[in-house]
Amino acid sequence: MDAENLHYFEKAPVAKAVAHFAIPMMLGTSMSVIYSILNAYFLGTLGNTAMLTALALTLPLFAIIMALGNLIGVGSGTFISRLLGEKRYEDVKHVSSFAFYSSLILGIILMAAGFPLIEPIVHSLGATPDSFGFTKDYVTIMLIGSPFIVLFFTLENIIRSEGAAITSMVGMILSVVVNIFLDALVIFVFHWDVIGVASATVISNLVASAFYAFHIRYKSQFFTLSVKWFKATKEILSNVLKIGIPIFIMSVFMGAMSLIFNHYLIEYGDQAVAAFGISSRLLQFPEFILMGLCEGVVPLIAFTFAANKLRMKHTIGFTIKTIVALAVVFGIIVYLISDHLIGLFTNDPLLIEMGSYILHVTFLSLFITGMTSLFTGIFQATAQGTAAFIMSIIQGLTLIPVLYIANQMSGFHGVIWSLVISDAVAFLVGAFMLYVLRNKLQPDLEALAQ
């Protein structure tokens, strides 16, 4: 960690430090959403609703691949930030080597396990006869590229954990730019439709992973790619897994929730699934901005938890104020121009009407999801494994019964509103746990007075 990063961890004004860590992450995640939106846009230009449906149906698979990257990346990243706060620099090398090789191994295992099960996977995703072939193509390519996608999410997390927020952002933007360029090439030049879009995603993750590996190899003071530093000690495994496993479970739950949600939506036709696919991608933009803010400050919270709890408290307070301001701004924008936003992807009046309705409903919980992300980040950064685990499962556990009841009572409207209800429950549970843990997390006032 260089002197500049150390300054932001320890001495810079809180607002400036939060901006240093969060803005690059917010820009990087927003670029990722732009890529996701453009994916749908490029396929939408082909005028085939079944392709858009396939893109929506494969979101659970991508969530699982991302979950494996976060299993190692988030767990290793928060541990690295605490180690830096404790000035245990040699241990950081062991953790970085562990993260690199473990993520590659997990990706290879997923690829090997998934190939014999491609058709059952496609059926389980809820593919209709019209979208089955497109969904199978996408699943096949994503499985082939899963080692690189897992590695990308792992490296992005650990690089951010040492304070190299701008490097993390550059890698994410590089991935997006390469993806957009390849999307345009494969759709408009080679006419590869879904296969091309999936291939572009894999290649872009590979390029970004190579960029991160170059940074670790030649520019990072404490990280290493050398296998001789690889260790899987009890301390490393326990610290990585107690945070990584809840994040993995949360990501898997997101995939499972998306899968279950799609099965309910498909009852109302391919247009309902396509409308949700479009609106959810639009919703991802403000959601990922807020998630970028919350994830961006995790290294700062983890470092200050080990080194200066009063600074940690001020960091959390400033982040909450920023979440409120952003949620209000995004909410106003969406309620004013939702029809025009959906109209960018389709000229189907029914799709525009359904997509706009979904946007209006789901945007009601934007502030709630932002705060839930912050609660989860606090629990990760401070090594509160149990609280992080509860946050990882509460939304999924709530959504499943709420979805069933709401669908029975209100049909399509109930299915959409179930998302808001489950978000609200997760927020209340997170706020309660933060209150219960307040004595453990707050600064030691007696020590400060000495």
Burial class of 17 by CB neighbour count within 10 A (0 to 12, 13 to 18, 19+): buried
Task: Spell out the SS3 assignment of the chain.
Answer: CCHHHHHHHHCCCHHHHHHHHHHHHHHHHHHHHHHHHHHHHHHHCCCCHHHHHHHHHCHHHHHHHHHHHHHHHHHHHHHHHHHHHCCCHHHHHHHHHHHHHHHHHHHHHHHHHHHHHHHHHHHHCCCCCCCHHHHHHHHHHHHHCHHHHHHHHHHHHHHHHCCCHHHHHHHHHHHHHHHHHHHHHHHHCCCCHHHHHHHHHHHHHHHHHHHHHHHHHHCCCCCCCCHHHCCCCHHHHHHHHHHHHHHHHHHHHHHHHHHHHHHHHHHHCHHHHHHHHHHHHHHHHHHHHHHHHHHHCHHHHHHHHHHCHHHHHHHHHHHHHHHHHHHHHHHHHHHHHHHHHHHCCCCCHHHHHHHHHHHHHHHHHHHHHHHHHHHHHHHHHCCCHHHHHHHHHHHHHHHHHHHHHHHHHHHHHHHHHHHHHHHHHHHHHHHHHHHHCHHHHCCCHHHHHC
pLDDT at 450: 38
- pLDDT-above-90 percentage for the chain: 15
pLDDT band with cut points at 50, 70 and 90 for residue 3:
low
Mean pLDDT of 326-348: 80
pLDDT at 32: 65
Spatial distance between the Cα atoms of 289 and 132, rounded to a whole number of angstroms: 33
Mean pLDDT of 320-343: 84
| Cβ(177)–Cβ(207) below 8 Å | no
pLDDT at 287 over 90: no
140-154, 271-285, 290-304, range with the lowest pLDDT: 271-285
pLDDT at 148: 93
pLDDT band with cut points at 50, 70 and 90 for residue 445:
very low
Cα 191–195–197 angle (5° rounding)?
80
Q: Where are the domains of the chain?
A: 3-440
pLDDT at 436 over 90: no
Take residue 129 and report the two structure tokens written for it.
């006869």
Mean pLDDT of the chain: 83
pTM > 0.75: no
Mean pLDDT of 57-85: 83
337 Cβ contact list (under 8 Å, min separation 6): none
Nearest to 68 by CA among 118, 134, 113, 21: 113
Spatial distance between the Cα atoms of 135 and 282, rounded to a whole number of angstroms: 21
| Cβ(246)–Cβ(389) below 8 Å | yes
Tell me the range of 147-151, 189-193, 254-258 where mean pLDDT is highest: 147-151
pLDDT at 98 over 90: yes
pLDDT at 112 over 90: yes
Mean pLDDT of 346-370: 82
35-44, 170-179, 397-406, 415-424, range with the lowest pLDDT: 35-44
Q: Quick one: CA dihedral 249, 255, 260, 261, positive or negative?
A: positive
Q: Quick one: CA dihedral 401, 405, 411, 412, positive or negative?
A: negative
pLDDT band with cut points at 50, 70 and 90 for residue 4:
low
pLDDT at 338 over 60: yes
Spatial distance between the Cα atoms of 332 and 353, rounded to a whole number of angstroms: 19
Residue of higher predicted confidence among 308 and 5: 308
pLDDT at 380: 80
Q: Tell me the per-residue pLDDT of 42-67, one tens digit each, with 9 for 90 and over.
A: 777 777 777 877 777 777 788 788 88
Mean pLDDT of 188-204: 86
370 Cβ contact list (under 8 Å, min separation 6): 287, 290, 291, 293, 294, 323, 326, 327
| Cβ(444)–Cβ(306) below 8 Å | no
Take residue 389 and report the two structure tokens written for it.
């685990």
Mean pLDDT of 415-429: 88
